[in-house]
Amino acid sequence: MKLHDFIQFETKHFIRNRFKVLAVIVFILGCLYTIRLGNQMRENKLSQIQNQKDKSIENKAKVLGWYDSGQLGPKESPWVNISEPFWAIWYTPSHVYKFPSPLMGFSIGQAESFAYQKSISNWSTVYDNDLIGEIANPERISVGSIDFGFMVLYLAPLLLIILLFNINGLEHDLGINTIIRTQSTNPNLLLLARSTYYTCLLIALLFLMVVFSGLITGAVQSHLSELIFLFLLIASYLLLWQFFFFWLIKTSIGSNGQAIRMICVWIVFCVLIPGYVHQMADTRFPENFKTDYLDVNRIEIKGLFDLPVETRANNLKSLFPSLQETIMGKDSIPNVDATNYSSSSLANELMKKAALELAEKNGEKNSYIISTYWYNPVTFFQNKINAISETDYHAYQNFRDRIQSTIDQKNELIVLETWDDRVVDKNQYLTYFDKCNASQ
């Protein structure tokens, strides 16, 4: 049979089966709906970020107004003096944003568990309360959001089952499989071609949807290589399923038996193996209550303030060797106010160490998850799609790293400028603003 004839034959076969056509239409509508949901979420995040940016500009203008009018700070806080570096930096609005990728429409991933912006002070940490993610219904999150990634990873294989379950199965049911085997020169090739037809049909539909969404969000222009990679991932994933299903089709025992075996394979790969890995990860790395981190947060930082000024000043000099060259650093008697203002840097070092330990523990858990990919392909593809859409753990860890570097920057600025006894004017304030928002 020529390729053209074969496609015509299989297309007729497909179109005549209303149940299959309906399933494909429902799937397409579902995909379009989930892409829209993901894009809506992205737009919401972008608009919230824009609101925060506007507020930040307002706050900056307010402080600039104080400089213009010679006011030293808010009227209700007479102790504030914005000509001192500490207070000038304290009143420098500083934010780190995680801009959602234009590919977010394809996978919401872990987006709902994390925040997309963080207001930074010198006392901020990467585990602050304002980083716990959007306010959402925990029952909905535990059931899981429906997104394009879910449609592709979990429902596309089910659609494939609907499309493929009676290939060779129907022939068995009708008892004509022997005739077909006799008439065909290569019956396995025919089965492979027939199953490939449906897989290619699905891949082509998904390709169109990826391109369509990419055009709407502008990802085709800005993230073309990621978009191509995403498509290749989707295609490989569906071909992998086709590979499994082809073996079941080849050894068919009838439509019913074939459908049952295909669904069992789906259950094993989509539900049981990921569930098992999840359970094992939880057993190997049990959820703890972060008491080590809390101890640093409360006990060790509180202890910092019980230290004599001399000790804290020396610790600061070890942390920032260039302090020795500053005006106050050259003085043998430490300046109490400057040391107090700078103490957040010492606290930041302690918190950084504790946060790093947490990140290392998370890293170990992630390594374990990655080590299971060879028998847990669904999770592999899921995390790859999340990574492309920048909604996976690593995307948020990068966000945390950027937050940490801004906290470091703000603290360093406070310490060096305070110890240099600098008098801050409007221009200097603007320099601080730029430095404290460099991570955007």
Of residues 73 through 92, those in contact with another protein by CB under 8 A are: 76
Classify each residue of 16-30 as buried b or exposed e, where b means 16 or more C-beta atoms within 10 Å of its C-beta.
eeeebeebbeebbeb
* Closest alpha carbon to 403 in 134, 113, 101, 95: 95
One of 101, 145, 343, 344 touching another protein (CB under 8 A):
145
Q: Which stretch binds another protein (CB under 8 A): 60-68, 83-91, 133-141, 316-324?
A: 133-141
Q: Min. distance of Cβ 224 from another protein in angstroms?
A: 25
Report residue 141 as tokens: 């999150």
Alpha carbons 64 and 78: distance in angstroms, whole number: 18
Query: Per-residue x/- marks for another protein, 330-369, CB under 8 A?
Result: -------------------------------xx--xx--x
Q: Does residue 65 bind another protein (CB under 8 A)?
A: no
Residues between 21 and 40 with contacts to another protein, criterion CB under 8 A: 37
Report residue 378 as tokens: 């669904």
SS3 for 355?
Answer: helix
Query: Per-residue x/- marks for another protein, 100-119, CB under 8 A?
Result: ---------xx--xxx-x--
| 123/212 with CB nearer another protein | 123
The H-or-E segment that residue 79 falls in is none
Cβ-contact 274, 376 below 8 angstroms: yes
Residues between 199 and 258 with contacts to another protein, criterion CB under 8 A: 255-256
Query: Per-residue x/- marks for another protein, 390-429, CB under 8 A?
Result: --xxx-x---------------------------------
Q: Does residue 141 bind another protein (CB under 8 A)?
A: yes
Q: Min. distance of Cβ 73 from another protein in angstroms?
A: 15
One of 136, 179, 204, 215 touching another protein (CB under 8 A):
136
Cβ-contact 168, 191 below 8 angstroms: yes
| 41/413 with CB nearer another protein | 41
Q: Tell whether the torsion through CA atoms of 72, 74, 78 and 79 is positive or negative.
A: negative
Q: Which stretch binds another protein (CB under 8 A): 185-193, 199-207, 316-324, 376-384?
A: 376-384
DSSP string, 407-421: HHHHHHHHHHHHHTT
Cα-based distances in Å from 383 to 63, 110, 218, 370: 44, 10, 23, 10
Q: Does residue 163 bind another protein (CB under 8 A)?
A: no
Placement of tokens 């309360």 in the chain:
129
